[in-house]
A and B are shown apart, each in its own frame.
Chain A
Amino acid sequence: MNSAADHAGATISPPRQPDVDTRNQGARSQMAAGSNSCGGSFLARRSDLIKSRAENRSAPPDVMVIEDESIDAERLMATLRVLLGYDHEIRWTSTLGDAVNRVVERIPDIVFLDDALKPSSDAAQIIPLLRGAGFSGPILLSVKK
Chain B
Amino acid sequence: MTHARRAHLLASGACDAIDKDDVDSVRVGEALAQTQTPSERG
Contacts and interface: CB of A to CB of B under 8 A. Distances in A.
Tell whether A and B belong to one assembly.
yes
Interface of A: 56, 58, 61, 72, 75-76, 79-80, 82-83, 110, 113, 115, 123-124, 127-128, 131, 137-145
* A124, A138, A141, most chain B CB atoms within 10 A: A141
A124 B5 CA distance: 10
A82 B16 contact: no
A94 to B, nearest CB: 15
B9 A140 contact: no
11 contacts: A61-B35, A72-B23, A76-B28, A83-B32, A124-B12, A137-B35, A140-B14, A140-B16, A140-B32, A142-B20, A144-B19
A143 B20 contact: yes
Interface of B: 1, 5-6, 8-9, 12-21, 23-25, 28-29, 31-32, 34-35, 40, 42
Contacts of A139: 13-15
Given A61-B35, A76-B28, A115-B9, 4 more contacts: A83-B29, A123-B9, A128-B13, A140-B18
